[in-house]
Structure 1
Amino acid sequence: MRMRPAWAVPPRAARVRRRGPRRGVAVVLTALLLAPASACQEPIVPPGAPTPWPSAHARDWQWQWQLTGPVDVTVDADVFLLDPVRTTSTETGALRARDRRLVCQVRVGTYATGDPDASRFPAAVRGAAVPGRAGSRWLDVRGWDALEPVLADRFRLCRGKGFGAVALDDADGYLHRSGFPLTFDDQLLFNRRLAELARRLDLSPGLVDDLPQVAALAPDFDFAVNQECVRRGGCDKLLPFVDADKPVFHVEYAGDPAEFCVTTVGYGFASILKDRKLDAWREPCTLP
């Protein structure tokens, strides 16, 4: 069995839910967390921004993806992929205190009518409905001047809540009926611009899915997130990240981990089984 990174924290026996402290108490607790307990101890320092991904640990990460329900901060994972709007600063603070790496999921190629910033997208960039997601529509990624200020603020929200990395979701509108004549090159330029924007805002950029562009975009991104490359096929297309010692965080929503883990762990992915609702439950692949 491979050794876990030296800084990994053992799992807790039970799930713990906490109420956020009142403001005055929060200030005191923050001071206590940041101050050394004694002259010979180092202060608690969360992962820097942008989040570093040491190449020596590229195949060792364990991860969690949770978008629904109160965040379970006790899950035994090194990396947490979370919704920056739903996740509270109290939750990110608890995770940072445990030296967890925090990745926020930002939809960059779509918007939902319920998004707090939905009204900021001009009518000219609003496209076709996203199948299966009520109220969501594709965006015209060619309209960078209109999209960049809104997406930059989404990234700033991530930084403000303590995230050090961002996973760019819905960054593959050219593969769908978006309502716009998007080309491979249109999407490639947009995704590269987003990676650069994330870095300017001290965030490590990660690519979600978009397998056809992985070979071209792997140099621009620090990690990849993939859904169901075993069921859908195409896991081998993620190897440019593995070959560059960059993490690949992979999830399947069906199947037996004892079967698909043989393939994905062999490739060097960090793989888990999840419910599609992406609550706290997970079953990770175990390393041989």
Structure 2
Amino acid sequence: MKVVDLDVDSQRDLIPSLVGAGHIVLCYFSVGSLEPWRQDCQANKTLWMSAAVGSMSGWDEEWLDIRKLDLLQSLMIPRFQRALQEGCHGVEPDNIDCYENQDCWGQMTNPSVSSGDDVKQAQLTYNTWQVSYAHSLGLAIAMKNAVGLLPDLAGLYDCAVNEQCQTYTECDGYLAFTGGDKAVFQVQYSNDQDWCSGAQQWGLQTKYCAGTGDNLCSSGQWSNCFDPEDPLPPTQWTN
């Protein structure tokens, strides 16, 4: 049995066979940004844009205003429900760290925001609601990145997904998960297998890029530190 983390929309066709094979499926979607390619956004882009604060640097997405809780709940409830209907065992909501990104809070108006601390409580409220709603549906929920919120929220989530905590020397924060026998799934965007020894020290389930060249993480295979004989295609993140 493996844990497979995939997109609830673009990889939905893979879910039945994975569930049928006895694997645990976590389904990814963003709760903190407008992704224009998703069908629910295309179906009512005006409503989605009313929740946006500005573009996300480096991505074809818009940050969402975490202060508009009622509006965000109305947009996200169908996504959680869709994950359940597709057969997902849990969800990985992304972009739950607006308050840590000036690219997000710095674009807020009515009123404007002078620091991330001004919207930290709104972030905590929104994230806590996500956990509560996922659990009400019988779904597990993973905490994605948002290292600054680990002291506040780690006890609520069922597991964690992290990008490159070893690179940024942030893995110690995940003792809040591993110390409670909760899994932490980490990815290193590098083809250096030496990450594995550090990952084992922290108790992290880690995968790394095993390809070569400029697009080593998208054109080649992935490898799991705990199972190097089972390389994965880049479209599936399995731990």
After TM superposition, the score normalised by the length of structure 1 is 0.68
Structure 2: 5+ residue stretches without partners: 210-215, 228-239
Which structure would you say has the larger RCO, counting Cα contacts within 8 Å and 6 or more residues apart?
A: 1
Structure with greater strand share of residues: 2
1:229-248 matches, within 5 Å, as: 229-248=165-184
Residue matched to 1:102: 25
1:191-210 matches, within 5 Å, as: 191-210=127-146
1:104–1:163: 8 Å Cα contact kept in structure 2? yes
Residue matched to 1:216: 152
Q: 1:247 to 1:94 in 2, by over 3 A?
A: same
In structure 1, give the amino acid aligned to 2:69.
W
Structure 1 segments (4+ residues) deviating >6 Å: none
1:1-288 matches, within 5 Å, as: 8=1, 78-89=2-13, 91-118=14-41, 119=45, 121-134=47-60, 136-176=61-101, 177-178=103-104, 179-180=107-108, 181=113, 183-257=119-193, 259-274=194-209, 275-277=216-218, 281-286=221-226
- Pairwise CA distance, 1:280: 8.0
Cα deviation digits, residues 235-287 of structure 1 (max 9, x gap): 11111001111000000011412x2111111111100003543x782111137
Q: Which structure: larger Rg?
A: 1
Identity, in percent, stands at 24
Instruction: Measure the CA separation in 1 of the matches of 2:16 and 2:153.
Output: 32
Instruction: Measure the CA separation in 1 of the matches of 2:47 and 2:162.
Output: 27
After TM superposition, the score normalised by the length of structure 2 is 0.81
In structure 1, give the amino acid aligned to 2:57.
P
- Pairwise CA distance, 1:198: 0.8
- State the SS of the aligned residue for 1:131: coil
Cα deviation digits, residues 46-98 of structure 1 (max 9, x gap): xxxxxxxxxxxxxxxxxxxxxxxxxxxxxxxx011000111234x21111111
Instruction: Measure the CA separation in 2 of the matches of 1:120 and 1:244.
Output: 43
- Pairwise CA distance, 1:153: 0.4
- Pairwise CA distance, 1:120: 6.0
Instruction: Measure the CA separation in 1 of the matches of 2:48 and 2:226.
Output: 47
Q: 1:120 to 1:248 in 2, by over 3 A?
A: farther
What's the C-alpha RMSD, in Å, of the aligned pairs? 1.9
1:120–1:150: 8 Å Cα contact kept in structure 2? no
In structure 2, give the amino acid aligned to 1:229.
C
2:34–2:48: 8 Å Cα contact kept in structure 1? no
